Amino acid sequence: MANIDQRHKYILEQLKLHGYVKVQELSEKLNASEVTIRKDLKFLESKKLLTRNHGSASNLTSIISDKHIDIKEKMQAEEKIRIGQAANRLLEANDKIIIASGTTLLAFAHAIDIQDNLTVITSSVKVSLSLCYKPNIEIVQLGGSIRKNSVSVIGHYAEGMLESLSCNKLFIGVDGIDLENGLSTSDMSEAHINKKMIKAAQKIVVLTDSSKFGKRGFCKICDFDKIHQIITDTNAPQHIIEMIRDKGIEVTLV
């Protein structure tokens, strides 16, 4: 059995390599009980070296900093295109959908090629501009104050509009997906309007690239019991995907 310093060194090395570790696998590799491994993880978390999850641990992610949409659009661009294409295949004739803000949602808007009638309600100005030249798509642009980092609408005017709507599907993005904390975003106003969107939709579909797993944003959006499907790329950590599926949520890997 490795001593405590050796275990801590190994755990941190594995985190650096893979971004996460599982208690069961560490127990087997280090020939230590799961109780001992959990104590190691608790200690390392107290030193702000990692974040513990259920049965695992992830790289420490301090509260995710907010980035401008022009910067985020260049990150994981190919993965976002594949996610958007997969989301496009969920659309049906005469759907009335909500598209939230975010670069993965914008990739989805670019991918929409349905020829039947479609109604899109969105807080994202860029999504509206992307779809406005398609004659079969009716666009309802939510009104209110513009949040410049996301080029999207926030505030009580937009929230009031959502309270009077009922839609088939909501396509929403996140800044973090954490097994303990659920879905989160980096901005309080975005989180608030996202909650209103969830109440207005029958099916909630999360579009997110794999880099968001095991991370937390400043503001919680909702728990997993509010969502129905996640579409992400194949680099998503398998053990987290399995745990999410165990919650009865459909996960599509692209």
Helix (H, G, I), strand (E, B) or coil at 110: helix
List Cβ neighbours of 111 (8 Å cut-off, separation of 6 or more).
81, 84, 85, 87, 88
Residue 237: what pLDDT?
Answer: 87
Amino acid making up residue 11: I
Q: Can you give the C-alpha Rg of the chain in angstroms?
A: 20
**pLDDT digits 0-9 by tens, 68-104:** 666 666 678 999 999 999 999 999 999 999 999 999 9
Per-residue tokens: 42 = 């608790």
Torsion angle in degrees (nearest 10) through CA of 180, 182, 183, 185: -40
Q: 69-253: which CATH topology?
A: Rossmann fold (3.40.50)
Q: What percent of the chain has pLDDT over 70?
A: 93
> Is 170 within 8 Å of 98 (Cβ atoms)?
yes
Residue 75: what pLDDT?
Answer: 76
Residue 243's nearest CA partner among 14, 20, 66, 9 is 20
**pLDDT digits 0-9 by tens, 210-236:** 988 888 888 999 999 999 999 999 999
Q: What's this model's pTM, rounded to 2 decimal places? A: 0.78
**pLDDT digits 0-9 by tens, 94-152:** 999 999 999 999 999 999 999 999 999 999 999 999 999 999 999 999 999 998 878 89
Could you write out the DSSP letters of every residue in 62-82? PSPPP--HHHHTTTTHHHHHH
> Is 164 within 8 Å of 130 (Cβ atoms)?
no
Domain 4-59 has CATH 1.10.10: yes
> Predicted confidence band at 61 (pLDDT cuts at 50, 70, 90)?
low
CATH 1.10.10 domain extents, the chain: 4-59
